[in-house]
Each structure stands twice: as C-alpha cells, then as structure tokens.
Structure 1
C-alpha cells in the first residue's frame, strides 16, 4: 500500500514509481524514499 500512496503522490515522477516497484518488498524503504523526497 505504501508504494500505491507514493504513486498517487508523485504521479509525474516515473523514476520514483519504478524504484518503489523494485522496493515493493521493503515497505519501510518506500517510506524512507518519500521522506527523502
């Protein structure tokens, strides 16, 4: 669900979406990415 939220938050950033897809296993990682951005 985390990746889904990011996708909606950053729809114009395909790169981020791709990264989230790769880190789908790491939900915490996705959250960190959002904080980083």
Structure 2
C-alpha cells in the first residue's frame, strides 16, 4: 500500500473512533452532541 493510502485510512479510523467516543452523547440528543473539533 502507498503511504498516502495508509494515512487516509488512519484518518478515517481516528475520525470513526471519535464518533464512537461521542456516540452515547449523540444518542441522548443531537443538540447535546459536541463535535470533536471543540477539543
């Protein structure tokens, strides 16, 4: 695999991990959801 592809997959994996981390808050209410960008 090319380094670019690996980097792209890693970025997706990290983004997915953040979504999974914030998922419980997201389920409680979309208004209560805080984007990872606020970190």
Which structure is higher in RCO with an 8 Å CA cutoff and minimum separation 6? 1
Q: Highest Rg: 1 or 2?
A: 2
Using the size of structure 1 for normalisation, the TM-score is: 0.36
More helix by share: 2
